Amino acid sequence: MITQRPKGTQDWYGSNMHKRTIIEGIARKLCKVYNIKEVITPAFEHTILFQRGVGETTDVVQKEMYTFDDKGNRSITLKPEGTAGTARCYLENGLFAESQPTKLFYFTQAFRYENPQSGRLRQHHQFGIEFFGSASPLAEVELISLLTEFMKELGMKGAKLHINSIGCSNCRKTYNEALLDYLKAHEGELCPTCRERMLKNPLRVIDCKVPSCKVIVKDAPRTVEYLDEECKNHFEELKRLLTELSISFEVDTGIVRGLDYYTKTVFEFVNAEGFTLCGGGRYDNLIHEIDEKQNIPAVGFGFGIERIINELAAEGVELEPEPAVDLYVGILGQEAKASAFMLVQKLRAAGVIVETDYMDRSVKAQMKYANKIGAKHTVIIGADELANNRANVKNMETGEQVEVTLDKIADLFVS
């Protein structure tokens, strides 16, 4: 038990850790040119934030949150997603009072008590962006363009953009009536949770994961048929902009998303198996829901880092490998140790990736080790090399050796 991590969690090390670093690097580079600033919010928040923001009738709040009372008897929840905390941060720190829009990105862990089948972790990680202050469909377009660029740079080809509009609270009134009528006619076939939630929030039944509910939902009325003029125009404008920008998309009227804060646009990037890699949308009411003095539109997305890694593997995409060790500095004799280590430090300061001996191995064992770790070159530093200020640098692939003065070794690697 002590040596076993909790179910649904993952350790990050080795090649996965390296991939994550590359993914985050590409995301950061893009956010920089889109002028999107990084934000880090706490790993836990007051439970009420998620109950209000994400929604009482969602699966996330009803079934999946890690909630506990802290020692001061406050109800605390480990964040199940990144939007509510970022919106709270935007409000609490008065970011809305600065020139708008406010564009924030984050890398966050998220905790959901889910069934850890493939692709569903209890702690997962997201690259997310939240764009506050713009009601224009161009905000959606900006995020979708960034995502398109992001996937292109990663070499991911299999994700297709699906969009839908679920309207605003005004459209929801007429839609909910129609949906409730339909669901009531099939009440007996719905799961117990849906039988209850259809009265409070029928839209949640649409994305219930229970198979019998999925069957009923297939023929349920669609939100797009109930959009008011403003929401219809917003959706048309979004589609027009995407078309003009040659960003291909498919309208999928089945997408409603699993969190309550969405209004108007919802979108997902879905892989060839129909698995959602990234999800997002507009949430024009969330800010008001958290702070009733404010009324600020917003849009955002979350992209699961683990899903990116899995998708790249499934598509056979290799990310740039970890850089190899440029030079292994072997140490010959105790008396050479300090000077050899000083040389190692000088080379590192010059930007050369250097490894050396910390195990007091024989020179033969050191060379074996250098070979094992894939060092591209080796050099042995002993009393003679130090006295003559010269050493032989060996290319491990060709076996070729060059003799150089110690202060010129770095020049072989960095120009």
List the binding residues: 81-83, 112, 126, 130, 257, 261-262
Only one of the segments 168-176, 270-278, 315-323, 386-394 lies at the binding site for ligand HAM (rule: CB under 6 A); that segment is 270-278
Q: Which helix (H) or strand (E) is 68 found in, with range? A: strand 66-69
* Binding status of residue 286 toward ligand HAM by CB under 6 A: no
Q: Which helix (H) or strand (E) is 282 found in, with range? A: strand 276-282
* Binding status of residue 112 toward ligand HAM by CB under 6 A: yes
Among 41, 58, 77, 83, binds ligand HAM (CB under 6 A): 83
* Binding status of residue 264 toward ligand HAM by CB under 6 A: no
CB of 330 to ligand HAM, least distance (A): 45
CB of 119 to ligand HAM, least distance (A): 6
Give CA–CA dist 386/408, Å, rounded: 14
Question: Which of 311, 338, 344 has its CA nearest to residue 326?
Answer: 344
Question: Which of 324, 331, 342 has its CA nearest to residue 365?
Answer: 331
Give CA–CA dist 231/223, Å, rounded: 11
CB of 253 closer than 8 Å to CB of 221: no
CB of 336 to ligand HAM, least distance (A): 51
* Binding status of residue 278 toward ligand HAM by CB under 6 A: yes
Number of helices (H) and strands (E), helices first, in the chain? 15, 16
Phi-psi region of 175 (alpha: psi -120 to 50; beta: other; left: phi over 0): alpha
Only one of the segments 123-131, 145-153, 372-380, 394-402 lies at the binding site for ligand HAM (rule: CB under 6 A); that segment is 123-131
Binding site for L-histidine, residues? 81-83, 112, 126, 130, 257, 261-262
Question: Which of 128, 131, 127, 82 has its CA nearest to residue 102?
Answer: 131
Residue 215 Cα distances to 113, 117, 206, 220, angstroms: 25, 21, 10, 10
Only one of the segments 22-30, 80-88, 389-397, 403-411 lies at the binding site for ligand HAM (rule: CB under 6 A); that segment is 80-88
Only one of the segments 34-42, 70-78, 121-129, 191-199 lies at the binding site for ligand HAM (rule: CB under 6 A); that segment is 121-129
Among 20, 307, 377, 394, binds ligand HAM (CB under 6 A): 307
* Binding status of residue 279 toward ligand HAM by CB under 6 A: yes
Name the site residues for ligand HAM (rule: CB under 6 A): 81-83, 112, 114, 119-121, 124, 126, 128, 130, 258-259, 276-281, 283, 300-304, 306-307
